[in-house]
Structure 1
Amino acid sequence: MKLVHFQLADQFHFGMLTDSNEYIDLDTACRDYLGVNPVKGADPSRFRDMRAFFAGGADSVELTRKIIEYIDRRRKMGWTPRAATGARYLFKPEEGVQLLAPVTAGAKIYCLASNSRSHVAEQKKTPPTQPYAFTRFSNSLVGPSEPLVVHRAGQFPDIEVELAIVLGRRGKHIPAARAMEYVAGYTIGLDMGYRDLQYPNEGPVDWVMGKGFDASMAVGPWIVPKEEVGEPYPLAMELKVGGTVRQTGTTDDYLFRIPDVLAHLSQGITFEPGDLISLGTIAGAPARVRQRVAPPQGRGP
């Protein structure tokens, strides 16, 4: 199951990408399904966006599976899947679908720094003894159909691949032994920052200038539920820039695993469904070896 936010003709949709490479608008599809198969207590509003979906927990996943089965049955009977209103809810990529970041506005975004043995080693740093995180804001996120923007203020844009988790439950003071119960799924983060701005000649680390610029982190293309991913260690990670492999490794390289990260951060933070934690990058960050990264989509302001 590949859960997505997408846009078509300037209209926002929450849905999924099917194995047959079609996008389903789950909100409209759910209303069609419930009109034929009433389900007590079922609420189509859980399909308005990623946060609402995950807040619905296992019921959201189960209802989604029923909707998919319903669509398949209709097709076998020769029907065109449409809502009673005539509204379509199946779309092909070639119709102009644009994938957006699968993160709802208002979600909290956390990123781990120095969470990779190889990355810490290439920085010639001492490995941290506990998870070390910083925050991003929604202005810095883009989806896979949108360009990262390279800003004139920085000289060394640094692109890094990361595994990210999306939370599915509200929680605080989460014990490590139960932390995976709060994880809803996984996605990919492409984190762009500016090492020359992050580490100025004077003063402490500047996370805002180094990592907080507009359109400086791509997330997506979708979220896969944790049940379909299984054990997240090891998962392969690779980043190519202009066809050249810049980073390659696995999630086994992470110093702190998901339960430890959640237990640490939730000591003072209340997590909500849809919040995102990017778990950090691996060795090979271009700026660390003084390699310039070509602007992904030209320069911005």
Structure 2
Amino acid sequence: MRLMRVGEPGMERPVLLGANGVHRDLSGVTGDIDGQFLSDGGLDRVRQALERGDLPEIDVAGQRIGAPVARPSVVLCIGMNYAAHAAESGSPPPDVPVMFYKAPNTVVGPDDDVLIPRGSAKTDWEVELAVIIGRRARYLDSPAQALRFVAGYAISNDVSERGFQLESSGGQWSKGKSCETFNPLGPWLVTAEEIADPQSLGLRSWVNGDPRQDSTTADMVFSVAELIWQLSQVTVLEPGDVLNTGTPAGVALSGRFAYLSPGDVVRLRIDGLGSQTQRLRSA
């Protein structure tokens, strides 16, 4: 299933996008797509309502698309999880996952504008596979268990301000990751059963139509299952949490491309998860 939220910020309504391209209103099943919905069997209720024919069609043409999950309690991120990106950052691949946090209020719609912060000279793009947690995960026994705790997947742009992140951070990356609008997410939450193997997805990015990143999740240093298992040893993952799993090579930090400026357009795509596009403007 492909779940989405449509409407102006703070007024989004939950919608199901069917395989035939028909949008169906989920308001009769849930008020929103959030951690509570995922934790109390919301996905099963949507499936049952669809089978009964209880979901009316809805026209969403011209409406804003919001992030597919509302108000995540946390956005967890993994750094340098593709060997080539670690190399372009000047580092070897890590021996253990590098974890950092983004402020949850960075999450915006997939096609919303991204604001270049005041004083920024190094705003960068990062296409990433986002994992939306569906069940509480703590101290999992092994990676073999981990994918059972996934509600679904989405495209994430882990926008970064490299000067804030690396030069004036005081050692903590989150300063360069938590500026407003710095996590476009969506357009859909694609439920886990629709993605046979999260380690076989192509992911790409473009800036002003020019290709930047072109890789596959098979190149991750740590797989989705490995990440969830390892993270569950040091934190509790809750339903609705968003996990950004790292970005491949091809970002401005490499020195091969210019950083983003007002008016630039970034487009991201991941196989099976759709695409998103943002225009950059000054904060």
Q: Percent identity?
A: 29
* Secondary structure, aligned partner of 1:199: helix
Q: Does 1:189 align with 2:156?
A: yes
1:25 equivalent in structure 2 = 25
2:50 equivalent in structure 1 = 68
Q: Does 1:152 align with 2:118?
A: yes
The 2-side partners of 1:8 and 1:249 are apart by 33
Using a 3 Å threshold, how does the CA distance of structure 1 residues 174 and 241 change in structure 2: closer, same or farther?
same
* Secondary structure, aligned partner of 2:240: coil
Which residues of 2 match residues 248-263 of structure 1 at below 5 A?
A: 248-263=214-229
Aligned to 1:226, which of 181, 192, 196?
192
Q: 1:140-197: per-residue Cα shift (whole Å, max 9, x none)?
A: 1111242111123210111010001111101211122211111111111111111122
2:57 equivalent in structure 1 = 90
The 1-side partners of 2:77 and 2:216 are apart by 18
2:232 equivalent in structure 1 = 266
Q: 1:240-297: per-residue Cα shift (whole Å, max 9, x none)?
A: 1111110000001110112221122112311111111000000001232252224343
2:32–2:70 CA contact under 8 A, matched in 1: no
1:158–1:195 CA contact under 8 A, matched in 2: yes
1:52 equivalent in structure 2 = 36
The 2-side partners of 1:188 and 1:242 are apart by 19
Q: 1:9-32: per-residue Cα shift (whole Å, max 9, x none)?
A: 97321221223433322122x4xx
The 2-side partners of 1:19 and 1:12 are apart by 22
RMSD: 2.2
* Secondary structure, aligned partner of 2:19: coil
1:5–1:50 CA contact under 8 A, matched in 2: no
The 1-side partners of 2:139 and 2:74 are apart by 17
- The answer for unaligned runs of 5 or more in structure 2 is 266-278
1:200–1:206 CA contact under 8 A, matched in 2: no
Higher mean C-alpha deviation, range 13-22 or range 3-12: 3-12
The 1-side partners of 2:97 and 2:280 are apart by 34
2:16–2:25 CA contact under 8 A, matched in 1: yes
Give the TM-score taking structure 1 as reference length: 0.81
Q: Does 1:13 align with 2:20?
A: no
The 2-side partners of 1:169 and 1:298 are apart by 35
Shift of residue 69, structure 1, vs aligned partner? 3.4
Higher mean C-alpha deviation, range 171-180 or range 243-252: 171-180
Shift of residue 221, structure 1, vs aligned partner? 0.6
Q: Which amino acid in 2 is paired with 1:293?
A: L
The 1-side partners of 2:72 and 2:182 are apart by 17
1:277 equivalent in structure 2 = 243
1:22–1:93 CA contact under 8 A, matched in 2: no
* Secondary structure, aligned partner of 2:116: coil
1:86 equivalent in structure 2 = none
The 1-side partners of 2:64 and 2:202 are apart by 26
Higher radius of gyration, 1 or 2: 1
Q: How many residues align?
A: 266
Q: 1:88-107: per-residue Cα shift (whole Å, max 9, x none)?
A: x532232x322111232142
* Secondary structure, aligned partner of 2:77: strand
Q: Which amino acid in 2 is paired with 1:195?
A: R
